[in-house]
Chains A and B, each alone.
Chain A
Amino acid sequence: MNKTQAVAAVLAATTTEPIVCTTGYACRIARHLDDRPSHFYMTGSMGLASSIGIGVARETGRTTVVVDGDGSLLMNPVGLITAGALPTLPLAHIVLDDGCYASTGGQTVPSRGADLCALALASGYARAEETDDAERFAELVRAAVADCTAPVLVLARLTSADPPVPGRVEGDLAEHARRFGHSLAGKG
């Protein structure tokens, strides 16, 4: 499974649910595959995708999907601790783990000793599962989104190369935030 396939599986499992994508390729791929008003492309603030998702889920009560990366999650694991302390938060936290910082040159993420699923469970997540199989991943994401009553984590272990990655997210970021806000208000 590569990152493009994993993002496609997240989009296939969702319709109008808010989706917060972390900085880097996750945003670019999601936008290229289907640029829904319910997507929030976090182009900076690496490490904070789950925090934004927590705020959205807590405020709207809606199942909120976070598309995170291994490097992004490790830049600020306090997101895990914060979500884990909110046992009824409907947060489907998807982690695309390719073991590298893909958009900055493929440097290795220093996670050799870290078990991200164990970290989520130890933080209070209700479930955390990982797979390197595309079909199994799609199944886990569907299940996480369909019945989301607590923070859950699904980790895709990515092992294949991606096709050329689409261009940067362009346009006015304030306008992008307004579009997402309208979508959350049911106007999008």
Chain B
Amino acid sequence: MATVELLFSALPEHVRTARLVAAAVARRAGVDEAVLDEVRLAVGEACSRAVGLHASHGISTPVRVVLTEDEKKFSIEVADDAPRPAAVAAALSAAAGAASGAPRGEAVPEEGVLGGEDDMGLAVISGLVDDVEVTAGESGGLIRMSWPTTPAPEAA
């Protein structure tokens, strides 16, 4: 069961609200203070992307954000209703996988990455979040991210 679920009209002015809510719930869930900026940025990127997709597809349904607090992790799911052909969905997921698997700090954007804000948003998410999954299909897309809520014990 979701801790907090948020539905907002797919308009740019509401993305800030989603960031603030996500950061507040993450803080309460025990996500490290130092990581809250990353949570804020990642959820903002995911929501901006969803808003853009709804606008470009002329979709009037709201964007869904589900914030879930588990025992050891805090998860955020951002779902859009923009349909993607199967080929695009497969390419997206492969791109996100490749980006998240790359060593941190070594990614150099190609011209194509800078050309699309959609792609740059995904690049930022992949660079920020270790545990991220991007899926998309004919009924819409989903970005799932999670952060640990308890720090790993220090090795003595």
Report whether chain A binds chain B. Answer: no
